Amino acid sequence: MKAVQRNNVRVLGSGSRTLMFAHGYGCDQSMWRAITPHFEAEFTIVLFDYVGAGLSDPAAFHRTRYSTLQGYANDVLEIIRELALTRVTFVGHSVSSMIGALAAIQSPELFENLVMIGPSPCYINEGDYVGGFERADIVDLLEMLDNNHLGWSSMMAPVIMGNADRPELAGELEASFCRTNPMFAQHFARVTFLSDNRADLSKVKTPTLILQCDHDPIAPAVVGQYVHRCLPDSQLVVMNATGHCPHLSAPSEVTEAMRLFLS
């Protein structure tokens, strides 16, 4: 099966430069709908779903291939090559930030820029490194996800989204979590929250924009600062937006920061 079918790829616009948008955990390509219209006139827009998410082909799932984030990065590279894309700016939310980094390390010639929204190379505190969670906290979250997918979704969506004054945003995220097949949700959660890509950051040579939210419960400010220090060619923008999904809660702020960077 071709990657464009496997990953439910959609291409919009026809610009000479390409923006490839990659969703975060428990989401799909629809989460970019408030961002993409602002770039379609100037860029080719590529949207896709990771295997196990959205309308991707569930039969394409192989536990070994997707046992690390590298498997998802390989899918990104296959999509780019099938579409014969060049000058790609990869826009990754949350875990997709590290997936984009791994793809750019492997094939730097394909990428013009990276945009990382709420990146975290490691979610678990270790020594002097602050990832935001103790290992026991992550283990408890994963066990709850295994035992009660719907309950986990209901509990975590408001925490991840923030913006308690706009409960409809948390409701949308919860619905997205609930649509995900529990088997895929559990697998990708383990790959995501137990990953450690800190050693990979120094290998990224692609110019990178890091968008950090104020009061992000998943990737706190100290993590964004860490990523910025470790990436040789990066800019860090701390936004007024709160929560972990600014492309939903504050799309105009994300769009403005991206435009400045891309110009």
Cite the active site residues: 94, 216, 244
Residue 210 burial by Cβ neighbours in a 10 Å radius (0-12, 13-18, 19+) = buried
Compute the distance between CA of residue 154 and CA of residue 81 in angstroms, rounded to an integer: 38
Please check whether residue 118 is in contact with residue 97, taking contact to mean a CB–CB distance below 8 angstroms: yes
Residue 112 Cα distances to 137, 218, 220, angstroms = 37, 27, 27
Q: 220, 115, 100: which is closest to 160 by C-alpha?
A: 220
Q: How large is the C-alpha radius of gyration of the chain?
A: 17
Q: Is the dihedral of CA 140, 186, 107, 219 positive or negative?
A: negative
Instruction: Look up residue 19 and give its amino acid.
Output: L
Which residue(s) pair with 239 in the sheet? 213
